[in-house]
Amino acid sequence: MVDLLVMTGESAIPLLDLKAQYATIRDEIGAAIDRVLESQRFILGPEVENLEREIAAYCRCAYGIGVSSGTDALLVALMAIDLKPGDEVITTPYSFFATAGEIARLGAKPVFVDIDRQTYNIDPAEIEAKISTRTRAIIPVHLFGQMADMPAIRGIASRRNLYLIEDAAQAIGAELNGERAGSIGHLSCLSFFPSKNLGGYGDGGMVTTNDKDLADRVRVLRSHGFRKKYDNELLGGNFRLDELQAAVLRVKLKYLDNWTEGRRRNAALYRESLAEAAFVELPFETPNSRHIYNQFVIRSSRRDELMAQLKDRGIGCEVYYPIALHLQTCFKDLAYRPGDFPVSEAAAKQSLALPIYPELTPEMIRTVVQTISDCFD
Ligand SMILES: *Cc1c(COP(=O)(O)O)cnc(C)c1O
């Protein structure tokens, strides 16, 4: 994850400015935190229960189970389908580490499929060829806030009898053909890491599902695998979301759609202002989709120069992600090599995220655009 200092630091225009957001909700947040402190109830109380209901409704899904992070959401979702050593899970090599990391943590094998060049999301056309007798699940990631090709992926999962788990960590509120991220998979994973569109004041996450039995398993696994204290029916862990985070997130959820609209407005402004810029490629928007722009990622063959220039002028920007997952040192036993996933590897060399947060002003966007133009003059 990003160093938070990069996001809120001394840049003239930071990549993300959480202080600007906090200034608009300070009183409500204070009241919510006080409410929890007065109750002295910190673990699995009314705040978590209410947040679970509210997030499930927001995602148009039946159940929500609050967990300790997006990473733990992935872990507990995979535990809920009883993923075992030797099992295989198909996913993308172009994502935050946790997507593949949690598969491997359970002793299972991440099997990568390259991405679509335009959307940066897993390419469904290449999934079927990677399915083996050991494949248990597919984990598409809705990268940067835009949904993967779920109609195609859902078709494959259902035809081949595989679990479909959405990594919706960057995509709360994203839509495709009227369906919401987090409502399609057997299980879906959300993150409330501070830099996500709905970010807490610490770590947090949620698993959503329409399946009553899976919801029940996740709920039991989240607290050591016991339904009744101290009667452990499953081998679980401590994957709980706490009341303070839930109280903060409930305040912020009310503003989420406004903030998302702000991000979309900023994206439209970038698009307009960069339309003539032949040297950068703008993010693609899938037709019939609602991109929530957790990141606004442009692409350039001179990315490193551009990044240096932006940083030099005090404009925050970051590379998501500089090393594709199949080339990570910790996965060297999987024996992938450079060149195995050329589309992901090219994206790792060319992509650059620009500031897109809702409080960004049109003037700030003009400054970013001008700095980009200067770089190529
Ligand atoms: C942030 C993120 C995660 C992990 O979430 P944490 O809450 O940071 O553990 C997983 N997958 C993706 C795609 C993410 O962006």
Strands (DSSP E) along the chain, which ranges? 63-67, 88-91, 109-112, 135-139, 163-167, 175-176, 179-180, 187-191, 205-209, 226-228, 231-232, 289-290, 296-299, 351-354
Arithmetic mean of pLDDT, 29-35: 98
- Cα gap 29→36, rounded to integer Å: 11
**pLDDT digits 0-9 by tens, 198-244:** 999 999 999 999 999 999 999 999 999 999 888 899 999 999 999 99
Q: Which residue of 72, 170, 295, 318 sits with most ligand 1 atoms within 8 Å of its CB, as the best mutation to test the pocket?
A: 170
For residues 144 and 8, the model is more confident at 144
User: Would you say residue 337 has pLDDT above 50?
Assistant: yes
Atom of ligand 1 nearest to the CA of 71: 9
Atom of ligand 1 nearest to the CA of 195: 1
Provide the mean pLDDT of the chain: 96
- Cα gap 138→187, rounded to integer Å: 11
Structure tokens belonging to residue 57: 């409704």
Per-residue confidence band for 105, with pLDDT thresholds at 50, 70 and 90: very high
How far, in Å, is the centroid of ligand 1 from the Cα of 70? 5
- Cα gap 98→61, rounded to integer Å: 23
How far, in Å, is the centroid of ligand 1 from the Cα of 98? 6
- Cα gap 258→223, rounded to integer Å: 34
Q: In this structure, which long-range contacts are made by residues 220-227, counting pairs with CB atoms below 8 Å and at least 24 apart in sequence?
A: 221/76, 221/79, 221/80, 222/65, 222/67, 222/76, 223/44
Q: Whose CA is nearest to atom 7 of ligand 1?
A: 70
Q: Whose CA is nearest to atom 2 of ligand 1?
A: 169
User: Would you say residue 5 has pLDDT above 60?
Assistant: no
Structure tokens belonging to residue 338: 């450079």
How far, in Å, is the centroid of ligand 1 from the Cα of 363? 31
Q: Which residue of 94, 191, 206 sits with most ligand 1 atoms within 8 Å of its CB, as the best mutation to test the pocket?
A: 191
For residues 10 and 295, the model is more confident at 295
Structure tokens belonging to residue 61: 């899904």
Using the Cα atoms of residue 19, residue 355, residue 284 and residue 303 in order, give the sign of their dihedral: negative
Pocket of ligand 1 (CB under 6 A): 1, 69-71, 95-96, 98-99, 141, 167, 169-170, 191, 193, 203, 205
Return the pLDDT at 249.
98
Map residue 215 onto helix, strand or coil: helix
User: Would you say residue 160 has pLDDT above 70?
Assistant: yes
Count helices and strands in the chain by DSSP H and E runs? 12, 14
Return the pLDDT at 10.
56
Per-residue confidence band for 4, with pLDDT thresholds at 50, 70 and 90: very low
Arithmetic mean of pLDDT, 16-41: 97
How far, in Å, is the centroid of ligand 1 from the Cα of 35? 28
Q: pTM value? A: 0.96
Arithmetic mean of pLDDT, 120-137: 98
Cα dihedral 4, 175, 73, 322 in deg (nearest 10): -40
**pLDDT digits 0-9 by tens, 246-301:** 999 999 999 999 999 999 999 999 999 998 888 899 999 999 999 999 999 999 99
Q: Which residue of 102, 193, 295, 344 sits with most ligand 1 atoms within 8 Å of its CB, as the best mutation to test the pocket?
A: 193
**Ramachandran category for residue 89: left, alpha or beta (phi over 0 → left; psi -120 to 50 → alpha):** beta
User: Would you say residue 6 has pLDDT above 50?
Assistant: no
Atom of ligand 1 nearest to the CA of 203: 7
Instruction: Give me the amino acid identity at 71.
Output: T
Backbone angles phi, psi at 119, to 5 degrees: -95, -15
Comparing CA positions, the residue from 150, 145, 206 lying closest to residue 178 is: 150
How far, in Å, is the centroid of ligand 1 from the Cα of 281? 25
Arithmetic mean of pLDDT, 124-142: 98
